[in-house]
Structures are given as C-alpha cells and as structure tokens.
Structure 1
C-alpha cells in the first residue's frame, strides 16, 4: 500500500488528539494511553522513514540530472 506524507500527517494529528483525550480520561499510565502512545510513535517513525526515503529519491534524481 502506497501512502502519502500528507496522509500520515493527518493520521498523526488525529492520533495525537485521541491520545490527549484518552490520557485525560484514563490517566497517563493507563493501558489505553500507553497503547495510543505506542501507535503514535509507530506513525511518527513511519512518517520519518517516508520523508527520508522521499528526500533520498529526490537527491538521486538531482544527481542524475546534474551529474
């Protein structure tokens, strides 16, 4: 499945809002809060990898064009 950077950004923002709500309701150390926090971490890691891969692809294309 191909996912775009903007889509992951939206998912991160939604997950962040959900995490804040869950933490307010159940506390910072609840299982639900920890679960949402881990999911948010995974999304952020995925986002960072996608951004890095996109940057590497652009750099490779620039080397081909200018090289």
Structure 2
C-alpha cells in the first residue's frame, strides 16, 4: 500500500479533474479516454474520502 499526504492527494485530484475536463472537450463524454480518466479520478476521490474519514475518526 502506498501512503501519501492528504495535501498531495488533493493536488493530484485537482490535476486529474482538470485533465478530465480537457479530455472531455477534445474527445467527448463517451470516449475511452474520458471513461478511463474518470475512473482514475473516482478512485482517488474514494481514497481521499476514506483517508479524511479515518483521520477525523482518529482525532476525535
């Protein structure tokens, strides 16, 4: 398992979101590239949400 800081994860999510927007503009919503990038973004967001939840749960 790879551990990264939440700040780094937020940065990577933001960059991938911007990339996804550009891909959609050039290839459309249903292209393979769009779907692939969207899935990667979903995975990062899920990791972020789980990490944020665990950090809050540990602190309280």
The TM-score range, normalised by the shorter chain, is over 0.9
Q: 1:24-39 residue pairs with structure 2 within 5 A?
A: 24-39=25-40
For the pair shown, the structure with the greater C-alpha radius of gyration is: 1
TM-score (norm 1): 0.84
The 4+ residue runs of structure 1 with deviation greater than 4 A are none
- The CA distance in 2 between the partners of 1:49 and 1:28, in whole Å, is 27
- Structure 1: where are the runs of 5+ without partners? 60-67
Q: Secondary structure of the residue that 1:53 maps to in structure 2?
A: helix
Cα RMSD between the aligned structures? Answer: 0.7
Q: Greater relative contact order (Cα 8 A, min sep 6): structure 1 or 2? A: 2
TM-score (norm 2): 0.94
- Structure 2: where are the runs of 5+ without partners? none
